[in-house]
Amino acid sequence: MLPEERGRGAGRALLGELARIARRRGCGRMEWAVLDWNTPSIRFYQKLGAKLRRQWILTRLTGARRSADWRAGRRVVERRSARPPRRS
C-alpha cells in the first residue's frame, strides 16, 4: 500500500474479513510475516492486538526448479520420505 493511501481502513477491512474466514473454518489463529524495518505496519498490527513473535525465523527455499538450491532441498525431502517411519 502506498503511504498516501494508509489510514483509509483498507488494511483493517482486509484483516477483518480474513479473521471472519478463519473463524468460519475453525482456525485457532492467524499468522503472517512483516519485515522488521516496516515500522508503520508493525504499529498497525500491534494496534489491532497482534503479538510479534520474534523467536520465529522465516525460512525459504528459492530459485528456479532447476537451480542447485532447489535440487538440494528436493533431495532432502525425497531422502526423508524414502525412509521408513521411526518407531516410538
* 87 domain residue, yes or no: no
Cα end-to-end span (Å), the chain: 49
User: Which residue range is the domain that position 78 belongs to?
Assistant: 3-82
Catalytic residue list: 45
CA distance 72 to 51: 34
Instruction: Give this prediction's pTM.
Output: 0.61
CATH classification of the domain holding 47? 3.40.630.30
Mean pLDDT by 10 residues, the chain (88 residues): 83 94 94 92 93 86 67 68 64
pLDDT of residue 19: 94
**DSSP notation for 40-53:** HHHHHHHHTT----
